[in-house]
Structure 1
Amino acid sequence: MSQDKTRRFTQLDVFTGRALYGNPLAVVHDAEGLSDERMAAFARWTNLSETTFLLPPTDPQADYRVRIFTPTGELPFAGHPTLGSCHAWLQAGGQARGDHVVQQCEVGLVRVRRQAEGDVQRLAFAAPPRRRTGPLPDDLLARITAALGLPRDAIRHHEWCDNGPGWAGVMLGSAGQVLALQCDYAALGDLKLGVVGPHAAGHDAQFELRAFIGDGDYEDPVTGSLNAAVAQWLIGAGLAPARYVAAQGTAMGRAGRVFLEHDGSDVWVGGEVAGCIEGQVRL
């Protein structure tokens, strides 16, 4: 049976230099021959927010191809799976053909660069363009305020942040307000919602983010796709500097840090990756 073979397996923690404080990711290497159904079944079994499968590229410009699954379906793009998959591919001996690693996923080609800051090594991906932009409609804002238990005037700014997963974004007046939120997922419905607020001066991060997944009834610890789209929105609107750090996962006992930078043409989304588990899986 072609699917019944031993494959390399890696489990990582993304957007942290310390294992157990970021967002976990499962990576299956050498995933050729696995059916969509088998990939989906394994992603349900790991029960992580995302599980990825590394494949040979079908685009000649790409270094590798990745497919990204949640326990409920496949995503065209996601941020922490991009950095984690790239880290796993490099650790397994992958060699980029150019200055950047080029990842092929359902949203297209995504460039990933390696960064060094002192002894700290980070990966960063170039944020893909948003599929939907502009202000959120009034009926959706009413659903969001009901789900978060907020008055309408607590939302200072709002914007579609959809770069594949379908994010909607709202900005509150402070990081403290963001951290105090309790989400009513039933009221949120099937919406994927990002909430951002600024930290006071002196904090190591300029913004705090939280990501509420209405169609899964859970909070994502550290979310690369959301941070990518929020950075495009905030920097483009003059609500954030061209370079900043975002904290995420604080309310869940994590310590995720996402490094955002606009270089004049692209927004780069960076972070550290910590290894947790290496072994083999039979699929």
Structure 2
Amino acid sequence: MSRHVFTQLDVFTDTPLRGNPLAVVHAAQGLSDANMQAFARWTNLSETTFLLPPTEAGADYRVRIFTPDRELPFAGHPTLGSCQAWLAAGGQPRSADEVVQQCGVGLVRIRRDGTRLAFAAPPLRRSGPVEPEVFAQIVRSLRIPADAIRASNWVDNGPGWVAVMLGSRDEVLALQPDFAAMRGLELGVVAPWSGGEAQFEVRAFVPSLGVPEDPVTGSLNAGLAQWLIGAGLAPERYVASQGTALGRSGRVFVEKRSDTVWIGGDSVVVVSGQVSL
């Protein structure tokens, strides 16, 4: 058994208990895959991360990301929260303005903008039209008529996201999905929020990861931004709201600069201490 510095943060919020929690284990070298998976299952959060020395040139640190059921190559709120925890623990990046994270999808750039961090959206592994049989499954899963879906697209940057756009925020918040009908889909839903404090409302349904609905989801918002901006369905700079249906008030700050889409958010430390693993 070994002792490790431990941090638990709330991500995509500057107010504790209003965003998406993340557990971070520091200096995790020596822990086995089975140890990491067991601890992630024990925390029962959507993701738990483990910080390690980098093994690729140019990286400042390495992170491994686990859900209660499996390891992910990339996820958004674990990227921002892990970086915040690494910096708070004294991590020194090579660049004053940017941190480089190594994870399953390779190197991810993280921009420092005051106290807020933003990661460069990784390339989509899968994009394009949704197949008719998948579209039909989405309709069944969301329990809505097919014509309620205004647009759909694959937006997979690692977790396997497919996404649909509805007509209004109210429609998104009214959803009561049939999780059994999803049968493995990682499904994102987005709609415009007219006249609100954000421009879009988002929900993320991920029953296959052991979390029926994720409070605030960086990877999904990264994929959505690449799709929506590229298709002319969103401006190059906007704010997305997520977590409303779960009593949270997450805010995701999206900005396209040149050819890069940046996904930003605040993080706040809620718990710090040590864990024995």
TM-score tier by shorter-chain length is: over 0.9
Q: TM-score, normalised by structure 2?
A: 0.98
1:243 to 226, 231, 237: 237
Verify: 1:181 aligned to 2:175, yes or no: yes
Residues 51-90 of structure 1: matches in 2 within 5 Å? 51-90=48-87
Q: Gaps spanning 5+ residues in structure 2: where?
A: none
Q: Gaps spanning 5+ residues in structure 1: where?
A: none
1:169 to 163, 183, 196: 163
Residues 91-106 of structure 1: matches in 2 within 5 Å? 91-98=88-95, 99-106=97-104
- Which residue in the other structure is 1:271 paired with? 265
Secondary structure at the aligned position of 1:8 is classed as: strand
Cα RMSD for the two superposed structures:
0.7
Instruction: List structure 1 runs of 4+ shifted beyond 4 angstroms.
Output: none
Deviations 1:216-238 (A, max 9, x none): 36100000000000000000000
Q: Work out whether residues 11 and 81 of structure 2, in 8 Å CA contact, stay in contact via their aligned partners in 1.
A: yes
2:41 to 41, 44, 68: 44
CA distance in 2, matches of 1:221, 1:235: 23
CA distance in 2, matches of 1:144, 1:214: 13
CA distance in 2, matches of 1:192, 1:211: 8
CA distance in 2, matches of 1:27, 1:189: 29
Deviations 1:175-206 (A, max 9, x none): 110010001001111100000000012x1100
Q: Work out whether residues 193 and 214 of structure 1, in 8 Å CA contact, stay in contact via their aligned partners in 2.
A: no
Secondary structure at the aligned position of 2:228 is classed as: helix
Q: What amino acid is the match of 2:212?
A: Y
Shift of 1:214: 3.1
Q: What number of residue pairs does the alignment pair up? A: 275
Q: What amino acid is the match of 2:127?
A: T
- Which residue in the other structure is 1:109 paired with? 107
Verify: 1:208 aligned to 2:206, yes or no: no
Residues 215-234 of structure 1: matches in 2 within 5 Å? 215=208, 216=210, 218-234=212-228
Deviations 1:225-261 (A, max 9, x none): 0000000000000000000000000000000000000
Secondary structure at the aligned position of 1:229 is classed as: helix
- Which residue in the other structure is 1:256 paired with? 250
Identity of aligned residues (%): 67
CA distance in 2, matches of 1:61, 1:200: 42
Q: What amino acid is the match of 2:206?
A: I
Q: Work out whether residues 46 and 211 of structure 2, in 8 Å CA contact, stay in contact via their aligned partners in 1.
A: no
Deviations 1:31-55 (A, max 9, x none): 0100000000000010100000000
2:136 to 142, 153, 156: 142
Q: TM-score, normalised by structure 1?
A: 0.96
Shift of 1:280: 0.3
Q: What amino acid is the match of 2:72?
A: L
Q: Work out whether residues 239 and 252 of structure 2, in 8 Å CA contact, stay in contact via their aligned partners in 1.
A: yes
Q: Work out whether residues 16 and 256 of structure 1, in 8 Å CA contact, stay in contact via their aligned partners in 2.
A: yes
Verify: 1:24 aligned to 2:21, yes or no: yes
Deviations 1:39-93 (A, max 9, x none): 0000001010000000000012100000000000000000000000000000000
